Structure 1
Amino acid sequence: MIARILAVAIGLFSGLAASQIPEFAQQYRQRLGGAIDELRRVMVRFDDGAQASGLRRADAIRKLTADPDPLIRNQGEAQDEIAARLGRLGAQRRAFVEAGPFSRLLIFIRDADPGLARATYLDYEPAWPATTEGVTAGGAGFLAGWGLLLFLSRIGRRLIPGRRRATGLRSA
């Protein structure tokens, strides 16, 4: 009886823990949108400055990175990295939009931006997601935790000598 109660408790805990994976991914996607918006603002300012000088983005970056002054060269390299990151994050966002509920989890696991994932982790607030992914992950976590504990308790009963189930018959 105690094993079953413990199994349900472990199952509930496992379900809650497993449901946090889609919730974390959802909070990551929100942060992703904010990062893209901010990087776009930076690139628009850079593009406007380049255009005012009669240059396209690629030409302006090339000019900056070729400059002998380390400060100017570093600024060119930084703009090149910002443009590349904006492209990666934008592609990831499009992939999230085009993907189905469970595919989004795979995209997150496979392609998460390390800096963005770390920032999401540092600000993460656990929640019980009411999405299909969250409910399914929670249910799967419950079944995994509950089943594992019941399985281990049955193995334990077989390994402990002298421990047998009551058969309902008593000897006199």
Structure 2
Amino acid sequence: MGRFLALLLGIAGALLGSQAPGFTLQYMQNLQGRIDELAPIVEEFDANIAQYGYDRERALIECQSAEGLLDALCTAYVSAVERYEMLTAHMAELEAASDLVRPLVLAKTQIEDITLSVYEQFQPAVPATIDGLAYAGGGFAVLWGGASFLFGLLGAMTGGRRYA
């Protein structure tokens, strides 16, 4: 019975693991859309401050001490610029990783609101890539191996009853 359950868990792991590359690609597409949405705002900010001889860093520092209406304007621009810089750095990190490693990088560095947005729209699909196949095999190995180990351990603890 334990071997059968381990096999079922392995198959579930393969199905789940195989989705990682597709989810990662959809995440990156969503991320790029958000970067594209912020780019004109940041470009406008950069153009406006350049008219007064400022660079982005100096303007952001000055915005920290702004008051009144200037503070209200600065707050929106600072928020947009900081998010843009964070998103572009995140995209660069994902793009620098190989196709095979990218889902692991995403698992460590994902941005919650983007992940939730992708998850709401994500449709599982049959993987047709080498990295999809690799993640399917990895998912199978992790869940099957873990379950086999656990059932073997349970068998040893119960006096040799076979669970695996």
Identity score, percent: 29
TM-score by length of 1: 0.70
Q: 1:118 to 1:57 in 2, by over 3 A?
A: farther
Q: Is the 8 A contact 1:14 1:145 kept in 2?
A: yes
Q: Which residue pairs with 1:26 in the alignment? A: 25
Q: Which residue pairs with 2:145 in the alignment? A: 147
Cα shift readout 1:89-124 (whole Å, capped 9, x = no counterpart):
212222322321233234323332233223223333
Equivalent residue of 1:126, what SS?
Answer: coil
TM-score by length of 2: 0.73
Q: Is the 8 A contact 1:62 1:76 kept in 2?
A: no
Equivalent residue of 1:102, what SS?
Answer: coil
Q: Which residue pairs with 1:127 in the alignment? A: 125
> Is the counterpart of residue 38 in structure 1 residue 37 in structure 2?
yes
> Is the counterpart of residue 16 in structure 1 residue 15 in structure 2?
yes
Per the TM alignment, residue 149 of structure 1 is displaced from its structure 2 partner at its CA by 3.3
Task: State the AA in 1 paired with 2:16.
Answer: A
Aligned residues: 160
Q: Which residue pairs with 1:54 in the alignment? A: 51
Per the TM alignment, residue 32 of structure 1 is displaced from its structure 2 partner at its CA by 0.8
Distance of 1:12 and 1:76 partners within structure 2: 53
Q: Larger deviation: 91-100 or 151-160?
A: 151-160
Distance of 1:161 and 1:111 partners within structure 2: 44
Equivalent residue of 2:88, what SS?
Answer: helix
Structure 2 portions without partners, runs of 5+: none
Structure 1 portions without partners, runs of 5+: 165-172
Task: State the AA in 2 paired with 1:10.
Answer: L
Q: Which residue pairs with 2:5 in the alignment? A: 6
Q: 1:121 to 1:75 in 2, by over 3 A?
A: farther
RMSD of Structure 2 on Structure 1 (CA): 3.2
Q: Which has the larger radius of gyration?
A: 1
Q: 1:74 to 1:125 in 2, by over 3 A?
A: farther
Task: State the AA in 2 paired with 1:40.
Answer: A
Q: Which residue pairs with 2:71 in the alignment? A: 73
Per the TM alignment, residue 4 of structure 1 is displaced from its structure 2 partner at its CA by 4.0
Q: Which residue pairs with 1:137 in the alignment? A: 135
Per the TM alignment, residue 148 of structure 1 is displaced from its structure 2 partner at its CA by 3.3
Q: 1:9 to 1:163 in 2, by over 3 A?
A: closer
Q: Which residue pairs with 1:90 in the alignment? A: 88
